[in-house]
Amino acid sequence: MEEQRDPVVRQYARGARDYDRRWSSYVRATTRETLARVQLHPGGRLLDIGCGTGALLEALAARYPQCAFAGVDSTPEMLAVARERLPEAVDLRAAHAERLPFAEAAFDAVVSCNMFHYLREPKAALAEFRRVLKPGGRLIITDWCDDYLACKVCHLFLSVFDPAHWTVYGTTRCRNLLEESGFSGIRVEAYRISWLWGMMTAVAVNESM
């Protein structure tokens, strides 16, 4: 029933059909920044965690037509929108980041865009990200950045008024979390996508087990 659904799922289920139009500039900017840091060879496999309406997967499939793509999201309504825009070959599944329905070492790259700040168990999620990544595979996370005042203020407001909200990471906290989770070669870049709003993208490598 609707009232029993996770607050994040409830929120995005209501806004799925209108999401891309309502947040168009935000989606374009974060898709662009994430895409710029992806490196795939022909035959490579990439998983998008929290793929939403599929905007990033659509851009990736167009840029890397010889690669295979999969996406997971906890909100079926968002996945329904993604299914309408993406090629049938893209493997879309309803799942949570902490419990990914894929085998070990299944992907050359894992990406997460605009989702990580919702996770209640980030270390459990990062353990799953590592599990499905091949040794030497790359993780790319784009998310809000608490280094910027607007994000700090927004975090305080949402913590009080939005049950779906959980936290916001800064560059140092993000780096430390990735290091503690066993990733190496970590690079975290902060940048503005508008005069007000700041984001960051972290790139890390899955160390060999």
The CATH number linked to 78 is 3.40.50.150
The CA-CA-CA angle for residues 96, 98, 100, to 5°, reads: 65
Domain that holds residue 125: 2-206
Q: What is the structure's pLDDT at 208?
A: 63
Count of domains in the chain?
1
Residue 76: partners with Cβ closer than 8 Å, 6 or more residues away: 13, 94
pLDDT (tens, 9 = 90+) of the chain, 209 residues, equals 344 568 999 999 999 999 999 999 999 999 999 999 999 999 999 999 999 999 999 999 999 999 999 999 999 999 999 999 999 999 999 999 999 999 999 999 999 999 999 999 999 999 999 999 999 999 999 999 999 999 999 999 999 999 999 999 999 999 999 999 999 999 999 999 999 999 999 999 998 65
Q: Is 84 exposed, middle or buried (0-12, 13-18, 19+ CB in 10 A)?
A: exposed
pTM value is 0.95
Write out 158-180 in H/E/C secondary structure.
Answer: HHHHCCCCCCCCCHHHHHHHHHH
Q: What is the structure's pLDDT at 207?
A: 84
**Is the CB of residue 201 less than 8 Å from the CB of residue 136?**
no
**Is the CB of residue 143 less than 8 Å from the CB of residue 116?**
yes
